[in-house]
Amino acid sequence: MAEQTAQGSYVEAGEFKRDTNYVPTRITRDGADGFTPEAGRYRLVVARACPWANRAVIVRRLLGLEDAISMGMCGPTHDARSWTFDLDPGGRDPVLGYERLQEAYLALDPDYPKGITVPALVDVTTGKLVTNDYPQMTLDLSTEWGDLHREGAPDLYPEALRDEIDEMAYRNFTEVNNGVYRCGFAGSQQAYDTAYDRLFTRLDHLEEHLSTRRYLVGDTVTEADVRLFTTLVRFDAVYHGHFKCNRQKLVEMPVLWAYTRDLFQTPGFGDTTDFVQIKQHYYLTHTDINPTRIVPKGPDVRGFLTPHGRDELGGRPFGDGTPPGPPTPDEVVPAENWVPTA
C-alpha cells in the first residue's frame, strides 16, 4: 500500500519513493519536440525553497539567460493541489495570470494525474506547461540555449567530461539529493536506518574526494557542483533536524563545509539562496513531520561568508568565462533572507 507524501512522491513499504516520470518534452535547437529556444517565449516557474528549482535558478543566472527566460516565483509553501503565486500582487503571476502553477499543467492535460512540481517551463504564448523534467532542463539550458547565453558564460557541461559529470550527479542524487528525503520521509525504522547509512557513506566519500580538488569534476564549476550545492546549503537549516540526518552537521564536515562556502561565495550560488523561504517551506508544509508548524530561528548562517581557503587547491570557477553580473533588481533575495545579520 502506497502512502502519498511530498508532491511527486510516495512511501511504499516504509521507503520513500520519488516519482521521476516527468513531462519529458524538451526545448532544443532542432525543435524535435516542437519547441526551440526563443527569447521571451518561455517562463521558468520556480520556488526558492525547492532544491530542484534552485538548480535551475542558479544555471539560468550563471549562463546569463535572465533576458531570454523570464522567471515566475511561487511562495515557499503549497497545498495538496499546487504551488501558488502568493508572493505576487493579487496572488497572480503577472505574466501567466495564474493563481496556481497547476493551471499550466491542466492547460497541457486537463486530466494531469501527477504532482505539480517546480521547476517548470511554461510556454507563455499558450499558458501550457512545456516540461518539468528538472534534470534534463538544466542540461538543455547549457547545451541547447547557447545562442542566447551571455558573453563569458561558463561551460557547465563540457563535452569531454559529460560521462564523469553524469556518473557523479547520479551517485549524488541517489545517495544525497534524494537520500535526505529518503531519511526524512521513511515510514519504518529499517528504511530510515538504510537511508541514513547510505547518505553518510556518500558524504564521507565526498569529503575525501574533495580534499584534494576544488570541484567535483575537472577544475571548474560544472552541473555536478550545482546539483550537490542545493542540498548541502540546506543541510543544517533543514535536513539535519527536520529530516533526522543528524550524524553530523555540515559545519562539522570540514571539507564539505569549506566546499559549500566556496560555492556560496561564488556569484550565482549564495545570492540565489533564501534561507527564510527554505525553512518556511519544510517546517510549514510537512505537517506529518512537524505538526506544530513551528519554524526554527537557527541556525546562524553567517558562517557561509567566512574564508574557505579552497582557492589553494587551484581551479577557476568559471574557467575561461567570467562571473555573472549582479541579479536583476526584481530577483534580488532580500539581504535578511540571504545572510541575516543577527
φ, ψ (nearest 5 deg) of residue 10: -160, 165
CA distance 37 to 151: 17
CA distance 174 to 85: 31
Identify the residue whose cell numbers are 563535452: 159
Would you please indicate which residues are annotated as catalytic (active-site) residues? Answer: 50, 181
Q: Which residues contact 11 (CB under 8 A, 6 or more apart)?
A: 2, 3, 5, 17, 185, 186, 187
Residue 158 preceded by cis peptide, ω within 30: no
- Cα 85 versus chain centre, distance: 18
Q: Which set of grid coordinates corresponds to residue 43?
A: 517562463
Identify the sign of the CA torsion 249, 253, 259, 261.
positive
Identify the sign of the CA torsion 59, 252, 214, 261.
positive
What is the DSSP code string of 278-305?
A: HHHHHHHH-TTT-TT-PPP-----GGGG
Q: Which residues contact 150 (CB under 8 A, 6 or more apart)?
A: 63, 64, 65, 324
List b or e across 310-322, with b for residues whose CB sees 16 or more CB atoms inside 10 angstroms: beebeeebbbebe
Q: Is 79 exposed, middle or buried (0-12, 13-18, 19+ CB in 10 A)?
A: exposed
Identify the sign of the CA torsion 204, 214, 137, 54.
positive
Say whether 145 counts as a known binding-site residue. Answer: no
Residues annotated as binding site for glutathione?
A: 83
Residues annotated as binding site?
A: 83
